[in-house]
Amino acid sequence: MDNKTIAIISDIHGNYTALKNVLEKIEMYDDKINDIMCLGDLVGYNPEPEKCVNKIKEVCTKVIAGNHDKAIIDDLDIQWFRQTVKKSITWTKKQLSQESKSYLKALNTREDIIINGRKIILAHGSPNKNSPFSYIFNRYDIKGIEPLIMDANLLFIGHTHIPFCFCNKGEGWFQIEKDEVEINPEYNYIVNVGSVGQPRDRDPRSSFVIFNSSKNLLSFKRYEYNIKEVQDKLAETELPEEFSLRLTQGR
């Protein structure tokens, strides 16, 4: 892949209203988007999992498996999940077609790609295939995966639903708190793209990232969507009310 501009999304969680809105924004982006890539958790929590899986299949060139995706097809032990999350998994299983379940089952937990000669890792929670759903929040968590990523320019992840960018110039990791980041091909970066369908940084707007490889520019994007529409749909299901409240609160 050369001179690509890619959109990286994650953690849709059955929120088709948010997904549709984000895809419309991507379509209108000034630079042509060559590819859309998804870092997992297409399903869970929200009321339209089947529509989300079908849309992701249609528009994304790379898709990574999230923990909710694997839980749905019984590839992940859910005994430690909260009771409300277990209820979500049970409900979501009933909403998905066999075709969608087979699609989720076939997804990998990590993909390595090359853009403009640089290695980029796509993962959901961690690039460690033995523990792909570990959480990475800070530089202390990063230490545990450092040996797996130092040969890559960029690691894109989701899972925490909290966007961030960490950089290492060879002297340790530090956080860059900017909406636009100039990417140096000689350095290492870890980028959490946030969540399309259930942000948890107290900002209810959908979050995703645009990476322009020719300009070496990474852009964090936030967009409002019709939360009330999703809450109305949630009210028609058996899903816990707390899922509806979380959308408004961004937590």
pLDDT in tens, 31-90: 789 999 999 999 999 999 999 999 999 999 999 999 999 999 987 888 878 899 999 999
> By three-state DSSP, how is residue 229 classified?
helix
Where do we find the tokens 């032990």? 77
| Sequence-separated (6 or more) residues with CB below 8 Å from residue 31 | 5, 210, 212
- In the predicted structure, residue 248 carries a pLDDT above the cut 70: yes
> By three-state DSSP, how is residue 8 classified?
strand
Instruction: Mark 93-102 as b/e (b = at least 16 C-beta within 10 Å).
Output: eebbeeebbe
**Alpha carbon 202 to chain centroid distance?**
17
CATH number of 5-249: 3.60.21.10
| Sequence-separated (6 or more) residues with CB below 8 Å from residue 94 | none
Instruction: For residue 232, name the pLDDT band (cuts at 50, 70, 90).
Output: very high
Percentage of residues of the chain with pLDDT beyond 90: 92
C-alpha angle with apex 17: 13 to 21, nearest 5 degrees?
Answer: 110
pLDDT of residue 194: 98
As a whole number of angstroms, the distance between CA 190 and CA 125 comes to 11
All structural domains of the chain with their residue ranges: 5-249
pLDDT of residue 76: 81
Number of H helices, E strands in the chain: 9, 12
> Contact, 21 vs 197, CB < 8 A?
no
Is residue 173 within a helix (H) or strand (E), and if so which, with residue range?
strand 173-175
> By three-state DSSP, how is residue 20 classified?
helix
Instruction: For residue 2, name the pLDDT band (cuts at 50, 70, 90).
Output: low
pLDDT digits (tens, 9 = 90+) for 89-139: 999 999 999 999 999 999 999 999 999 899 999 999 999 999 999 999 999
Instruction: For residue 1, name the pLDDT band (cuts at 50, 70, 90).
Output: low
- In the predicted structure, residue 29 carries a pLDDT above the cut 70: yes
Q: pTM for the whole thing?
A: 0.96
Any bridge partners for residue 223, and if so which? 206
The sheet carrying 35-38 orders its strands as: 62-63, 35-38, 5-9, 206-212, 217-223, 180-182
> Contact, 60 vs 30, CB < 8 A?
no
pLDDT of residue 79: 80
Find the mean pLDDT for residues 208-237.
97
C-alpha angle with apex 28: 23 to 34, nearest 5 degrees?
Answer: 70
Instruction: For residue 30, name the pLDDT band (cuts at 50, 70, 90).
Output: confident
As a whole number of angstroms, the distance between CA 219 and CA 213 comes to 11
